[in-house]
A and B are shown apart, each in its own frame.
Chain A
Amino acid sequence: ETGVTQTPRHLVMGMTNKKSLKCEQHLGHNAMYWYKQSAKKPLELMFVYSLEERVENNSVPSRFSPECPNSSHLFLHLHTLQPEDSALYLCASSQETMGSYNEQFFGPGTRLTVL
């Protein structure tokens, strides 16, 4: 595997379900990100991790719970979601969280539908 991978690619869940999204980066980066992408809206940054420590939490509801067990893996645990949480969830990584030229590499995303 190369780059940033995400599983599953598609997920349909009910509002009472619990599920997890997984992201893995094979680039040796120190920073990882979760974004939400809704149709015709800007990417919304949800969480940022630097060397497994959370450095940013952009007022995300507690029904989204991130976990970063090591610098290569990132999870997003989901529970009691709402239909408006349906979106594409993108994972990204970068060498660091600081620094001007800090290109982020994205995974293909998980298309989440909440019924």
Chain B
Amino acid sequence: GQNIDQPTEMTATEGAIVQINCTYQTSGFNGLFWYQQHAGEAPTFLSYNVLDGLEEKGRFSSFLSRSKGYSYLLLKELQMKDSASYLCAVMDSNYQLIWGAGTKLIIKP
């Protein structure tokens, strides 16, 4: 079966750096997405990786290793507003998104 694993919850301190990992096993691979979802709100797109390596976008970076079935989202200079759930999703060979359960990130002052 298809599976996406990510930690359920993480805690970090304001101003620090946090890395949220995602491992996947899917039928084919057409890219990996990271979304952010604040409580009670819509998920919003953060990043997309289809080739190995690091994609940087401001304070957020996303890394992909296709051979290892592994990705991480790196958040730098954490702010209180970064408290949210972070969803990892992989597009399989049928162009269907397979979702992880999300990682709830708690930022403490």
Contact = CB atoms under 8 A, between A and B. Distances in A.
A97 interface: yes
Contacts of B89: 43
Interface size class of B (residues with CB under 8 A): 20 to 34
Contacts of B44: 106
Interface of A: 4, 40-43, 45, 56, 90, 97-109, 111
B42 A109 contact: yes
A100 B42 CA distance: 22
Contact of A101 (B48, B98, B101): B48
Interface of B: 4, 8, 30-31, 33, 35, 40-45, 48, 50, 87, 89, 91, 95-102
A100 B101 contact: no
Closest 7 CB pairs of A and B: A106-B42, A42-B99, A43-B99, A100-B30, A108-B42, A106-B43, A100-B31
Given A4-B42, A106-B42, A108-B42, A40 B95 contact: no
A104 B97 contact: yes
Given A42-B98, A100-B95, A107-B42, 15 more contacts: A40-B102, A41-B101, A42-B4, A43-B97, A43-B99, A97-B95, A100-B50, A101-B31, A102-B91, A103-B45, A103-B48, A104-B45, A106-B43, A108-B41, A108-B42
Contacts of B43: 43, 90, 106
B34 to A, nearest CB: 11
A40 B101 contact: yes
A103 B32 CA distance: 10
30 contacts: A4-B42, A40-B8, A40-B102, A42-B4, A42-B98, A42-B99, A42-B101, A43-B43, A43-B87, A43-B89, A56-B96, A90-B42, A90-B43, A97-B95, A98-B95, A99-B95, A100-B31, A100-B50, A100-B91, A100-B95, A101-B48, A101-B50, A103-B45, A103-B48, A106-B35, A106-B44, A108-B40, A108-B41, A108-B42, A111-B40
